[in-house]
Structure 1
Amino acid sequence: MTLLRAENITVSEGDTPILHPVSLHLDPGEPLVVLGETGSGKSLLAQAIMGTLPKDLSPKGRVVLGDRLLDAARPAGFRPLWGREIAVLPQEPWLSLDPLMRAGAQVSEAHRLVRGLGAAEARAQAQEDLARLGLSGAEDRYPHQLSGGMAQRVAIAAARAGGARIVIADEPTKGLDAARRDEVADLLLAELAHGGGLLVITHDLALARRIGGRIIILREGKVVEAGVTRSVMAAPAKEYSRELIAADPETWAVRRKPPAFAAVLTATGLAAERGGNQLFSDISFDLSEGRILGVTGPSGCGKSTLGDVVLGLVRPAAGRVERAPGLPPTAFQKLYQDPVAAFPRHRTLGRTLADVARHHGQTQCQIDALMPRLGLAPVLLSRKPGAVSGGELQRLALLRLLLVRPKFIFADEPTSRLDPITQKQVIGLLTETAEGEGCAIMLVSHDAALVGATVDHVLSLAAPQKHTELNAPIVAGALQ
């Protein structure tokens, strides 16, 4: 028996269609993957099926859920089913978590209010859920005390707590290392053993392969190819599908290491703590103009904290950071892992970028020149942050940063929301900025292949209180 059937789902902005008719079905025990580049309409499709589209977008089509027939144009009819029949794992955990509630309370609340468990049973179940996702001991932390990957896992636990048979997972492993990615994928797949339905929205080729089942590939709001995931990934029939799969970082050429110039900053004996626990200690390195330092390690090991220490946003527990003399504070910039939290929600993106350009002596011409280099359409400038995809917003965050013409960039998972094609384009622009502008870059990524092909040195953070010294260059694309 089909759990869910979506028929001729479309989404329009005014008179402009942005998602063309898409039909799909979910059967018990068989996952469905929707794969595509950033801005292809993947999340719009999920939101239309859930009835959660922004008010300025107009959906059409119908959704059959069990014995219920729902009109996509009337999203209020979907609300009674949220959490109970169908649940969504959101792409932006920071927006889905209550900043004033501890992690454990947010998960137990769903068990109590949606599933109807008693308070004690709900708390115990929440602890078990978090432990299964590698978050033992995190139940007393607030969202701002969690790394991006940890926040994503808390959001997953909270979304699943209602017991819905159908789960729509929108980029569920964004920001997670490979081990955590596979754990989350296996956790989602485990629900299928009980006759559940799973729809995974992703640009991650490795996740698509891990999930398996059937696949739909979207581009510019249209279905390009559909079929069995294993068959399509192994032998795609369409040119775009082949291009998308071939853009995997595993196929990238290794970047040639540039000569060393003057140091932009020097870190000596750095250590940091969080919640009384030491994240890392005794980290020292020099980073010169034009060089890229890769920072790797599992979620929660302190990668983002290291960047905040280097930028002076967090005081180190030990050690010091020295910057090259003569550089203004604005020369040191951070490209945030979650750009949705870094943009004013109620202003158009064009106005925000114009203000930054004006403040730093740039013009609209510079914005217009960077837009196509980042694969961004001019129409996005007239929208507010909530009306663009996560990947588009991440590239707009990079554009805003480049308007400042920094000498140092801490790029915190800058391609975690991007499909392989766009990811390669953005990393290319970052390396051009390093080499052409003499900018030093610390690049955080969970993708070992991307790091191996891009950076000059690697700093690998492991479990708290352990780290690998910065002393080995990239050799033949492998981390050493």
Structure 2
Amino acid sequence: MTDTLSNSAHLAVHGLAVGAVGQALVQAIDLHIPAGGVLTLLGESGSGKSLLAQAIMGNLPANLTCSGTVEVGAHRSNAADLKARRALWGRQLALLPQEPWLALDPTMRVARQIAEVHELVAGMAPEVAAPTAQAGLDGLGMGGAGNKYPFQISGGMAQRAAFLATHAAGAPVMIIDEPTKGLDADRRADVLAVLRAAIADGLTLLTITHDVWLARQLGGQVAVMLGGAIVEQGDAATVLAAPGHAYTRRLLAAEPAAWPRLAPVKAIDGQVLVEIESVAKRFGAQHLFAGVTAQIRRGEFIAVTGPSGSGKTTFGNIVLGLLRPDSGTVTRGAGLARTAFQKIYQDPAAAFAPAVTLRQSLQDVIALHNLSWAELDTLLARLRLRPALLDRLPSQVSGGELQRFALARVLLLRPALIFADEPTSRLDPVTQQETLALLAEHAQEFGCAVLLVTHDAGISARMATRVIGLSHSP
């Protein structure tokens, strides 16, 4: 991070609205964040939070219209003048997107990417930029990740690396979308510490999150968004302690720690789908886990837990047969269809062709496997996905909406086992609870085993019949 910001600036929007033909997507938003202040935007997936951020940045798709005004310090522009705000990118206004891999160059090592921003944007000498980048990684517990490429690190690590690269430019105003998604408690605390330090340096911060804990810890202001409109706004401590709007109360009541515990899902007929014996995995000098032994039976709902970087995604990929263990054995049940083992990816953008509409992607699956579109309609309704979203590209829906489409596509295939890699990290608490309940119901109805990666102790305690815990091997 930079030691101090060279300047400070407020962020304000007045009457900011975004629409498509015949449809209002974001409705006349008014927000003001003083220089060095913080505002956290809460709300359900698809409520317009990320769309509002893109409108502020001047990065809307061509088929959308925008009105109102945007102020970044002394720079005031008509919201429809997207070029005016694009001229501020990096040096005055920065955005850390929800999908961290989209913010990182896949061909460049992590530390070098951060150092390059220090050099080319902030004007730091190369001999100073490199150790500064490494110090930032060390401060987030990622010292060993600097020499790796983005695809070689976890989603949580990629998120933290993307923050360091974004903040290295020294822009006084930053919009950050879901900074703590997919992180365990220790790593969330690390991100919080970095954000607090940046605010203390003078950074003006608009945070978009589903993490009510983060909103409480950051303080400042909170705004709650529903259906494209702000339904409640005010001091964070006041709003989160005594919410005035019914939706805000529902949002807070749906935090995982407050969920009722689901009735245990019993293994069906005792059929073993996967037998795991003394499995170990490492990448180069990095040891992930060793000596993992377990059975996975039909109908079980199993949580896979462990700190960021402990190999939870790698373990699931080994169970699916996508990776081989370094030692030990994995035996999958005989006689299962090739579609019997399915994965829900942590980053849903990786699961969809970017230039193909969601309707076409789903039609292709239905045609290939001779499935029913009527069953898909039922799933989409239960996941609260509007039919109009089907005609959009993956990049034109929110991360939470895209993740629910990914879940619907997997459930259509009625697999024997689903490896769900942080499937709800992009969802607000209300939608998170609904989505995981649907997954549990599916497991019970069709005898499907679910291997769920989660960092949330509340979800693990209330959803899982048992836990497979991973830790870094010596």
TM-score calculated relative to the size of structure 1: 0.95
Correspondence list, 1:71-470, <5 A: 71-260=78-267, 261-462=270-471, 464-465=472-473
Structure-1 separation of matches of 2:64 and 2:142: 37
Separation in structure 2 between the aligned mates of residue 285 and residue 245 of structure 1, nearest angstrom: 36
SS in 2 for 1:154: helix
In the alignment, the residues of structure 1 paired with residue 298 and residue 66 of structure 2 have an alpha-carbon distance, to the nearest angstrom, of 49
Letter in 2 for 1:439: C
Compute the displacement of 1:258 (Å): 3.0
**Kept in 2: contact 1:30–1:198 (CA 8 A):** yes
Per-residue deviation, 1:141 = 0.3
User: What do the CA deviations read for 1:74-107 (whole angstroms, capped 9, x no partner)?
Assistant: 1111122111112111111111111111101111
- The one-letter code matched in structure 1 to 2:292 is I
| SS at 2:408 equivalent | helix
Q: Distance in 1 between matches of 2:469 and 2:35?
A: 41
Which whole-Å deviations, capped at 9, do the CAs of 1:109-168 have from their partners, x for residues lacking one? 111111011222111111111111111021110011011111111101100000111111
Greater alpha carbon shift after TM alignment, 65-74 vs 345-354: 65-74
2:197 is paired with a residue of what secondary structure?
A: helix
Superposition deviation, residue 64 in structure 1:
1.5
Cα deviation code 1:351-388 (max 9, x no counterpart): 10111112122121111111111111111111110100
- Secondary structure of the corresponding residue to residue 415 of structure 2: coil
C-alpha distance in structure 2 between counterparts of 1:339 and 1:259, whole Å: 29
Moved more, 212-221 or 185-194: 185-194
Distance in 1 of aligned mates of 2:103 and 2:71: 26
Distance 1:272 1:160 in 2: 34
1:471 aligns with: none
Letter of the 1:262 counterpart: Q
Equivalences, count: 465
In structure 2, C-alpha distance between the alignment counterparts of 1:55 and 1:319, rounded to whole Å? 53
Q: Give the letter for the 2:76 counterpart.
A: L
- Deviation string for 1:169-200 (max 9, x for gaps)? 11111111122112112211212223321110
Counterpart CA distance in 2 for 1:197 and 1:329 is 51
Q: What letter is aligned with 2:430? A: I
CA distance in 2, matches of 1:210, 1:238: 21
Q: Which runs of 5+ in 2 are unaligned?
A: 1-7
Q: Within 1, Cα distance between the matches of 2:166 and 2:332?
A: 44
State which drifts further: 152-161 or 187-196. 187-196
Q: CA deviation at 1:28?
A: 2.7
CA distance in 1, matches of 2:180, 2:70: 26
Q: State the distance in 1 between where 2:285 and 2:199 align.
A: 39
**Shift of residue 281 of structure 1?**
0.5
Code of the aligned partner of 2:404 = R
SS of residue in 2 equivalent to 1:434: helix
State the distance in 1 between where 2:273 and 2:73 align. Answer: 60
Return the letter of the residue paired with 1:211. L
In the alignment, the residues of structure 1 paired with residue 117 and residue 284 of structure 2 have an alpha-carbon distance, to the nearest angstrom, of: 26
Aligned partners of 1:426 and 1:332: how far apart in 2? 20
Question: Partners of 1:190 and 1:345 in 2: how far apart?
Answer: 36
Tell me the percent identity: 47
Partner of 1:30: 37
Deviations 1:200-240 (A, max 9, x none): 01111111111111110000101110111111111111111
Asked if 1:48 corresponds to 2:92, the answer is: no
Cα RMSD for the two superposed structures: 1.2
Q: 2:76 aligns with which of 56, 69, 73?
A: 69
Deviates most, 114-123 or 442-451: 114-123
Residue 2 of structure 1: CA displacement? Answer: 6.4
CA distance in 1, matches of 2:336, 2:48: 42
* Contact 1:215–1:229 (8 Å) recurs in 2: yes
| 2:13 is the counterpart of 1:11 | no
* CA deviation map 1:400-424 (0-9, x unaligned): 1111110000000000000011001
CA–CA distance in 2 between the matches of 1:180 and 1:54? 34
